[in-house]
Amino acid sequence: MKKSVKFKALYWDIAADLLFPADFDENKKYPTIISTHPIGSCKEQTSGNVYGQAFADAGFVVMVPDASFQGESGGEPRFIEDPSLRVEDYSYAVDYLVTLPFVDEARIGVLGICGAGGYSINATMKERRIKALATVTGANYGRVMREFGDPIANLEAIAAQRTAEARGAALRVDQGLYPTYEMAKEANADIDLLEATEYYRTSRGESANGVNKTLFSHNAAAITWDAFNLAEVLLTQPLLVIVGSKPGAFGAYRDGFEIVRRAASKKKELVVVEGWSHYDLYDKPEPVRQALAKLIPFYKENL
């Protein structure tokens, strides 16, 4: 069972799907998981139709939101990828969940996939209403942005574009991927870029709202941000980190090792799914099965 809802952020609405167990009873209280999508993705993709549905089937209420400025959520201009705003989305989601009589406010957890892995880690540090955190192929978006090109040159280019837009120039919206999988193969793209293009640009995973676009003039916020800052002090909730064993340019493999090493959590675990990659963990049956075999018991134990 699924219900589409909207709730307030600052001055716009966030759109989300609520997924329910098959035997849902509105008079009971349920542990609840917020399942959050990768950068450039949407709630209809892996966070909802793969992991979100599996959690609902396992007896959880699940919220699957679209990020602010993306998908069916509000916010203008479109395609802003600002980590501070993405992190704040989690608190707005919890604000809404605690108003629902069937949500047990003492048992709210989060799943972050890919870039949302980094966002959810940062959000959990400050949002004490989140009681358990797991990530699947989670990446520190700030680090990624600093490593893709010269960060100072990129900041200068962003500044120039922002000035141009303030003076009336058209907004620059960048495509995050190759237009087609064939073009990515011809370019001999890194495994993460190649498989991302296959997922988002073919029938395997494409969705109308999974557009992988970013507003270039607002990218400075990401370049100057670090998902893991203060994790040694503030990240204390139970933590499960799942990564594939095949590393790629987005760096989720090494980020997984880093955050487990740095987190103050007394209960923390790193799971490496051997023989599978970042994007295999989005939807391929065997690596997803292995991930869920760890995720579902983790949430049942800690929520």
How high is the pLDDT of residue 264?
98
Would you say how long the chain is, in residues?
303
Dihedral, 282, 288, 290, 295 alpha carbons, nearest 10: 80
Give residue-wise pLDDT tens across range 62-118. Answer: 999 999 999 999 999 999 999 999 999 999 999 999 999 999 999 999 999 999 999
Q: Cα–Cα distance between 225 and 230 in angstroms, integer?
A: 12
Mean residue pLDDT of the chain comes to 97
Q: How many CB atoms lie within 10 A of CB 243?
A: 28
Q: What is the pLDDT of residue 84?
A: 96
pLDDT per residue over 232-282, tens digit each?
A: 999 999 999 999 999 999 999 999 999 999 999 999 999 999 999 999 999
**pLDDT attached to residue 94:** 98
Sorting pLDDT into bands at 50, 70 and 90, what band is 128?
A: very high
Tokens describing residue 29: 């209280």
CATH 3.40.50.1820 fits 2-161+219-302, yes or no: yes
pLDDT band at 132 (very low <50, low <70, confident <90, very high): very high
Nearest to 302 by CA among 121, 31, 111, 58: 31
E-assigned strand segments in the chain: 2-8, 13-19, 30-36, 61-65, 103-113, 132-136, 173-175, 213-215, 239-246, 268-277
Give residues with Cβ within 8 angstroms of 194, minimum separation 6.
181, 184, 185
| pLDDT tens by residue, 21-70 | 999 999 999 999 999 999 999 999 999 999 999 999 999 999 999 999 99
Quote the tokens at residue 218: 């607002």
Which residue in 40, 110, 34, 48 sits closest to 70, CA to CA? 40
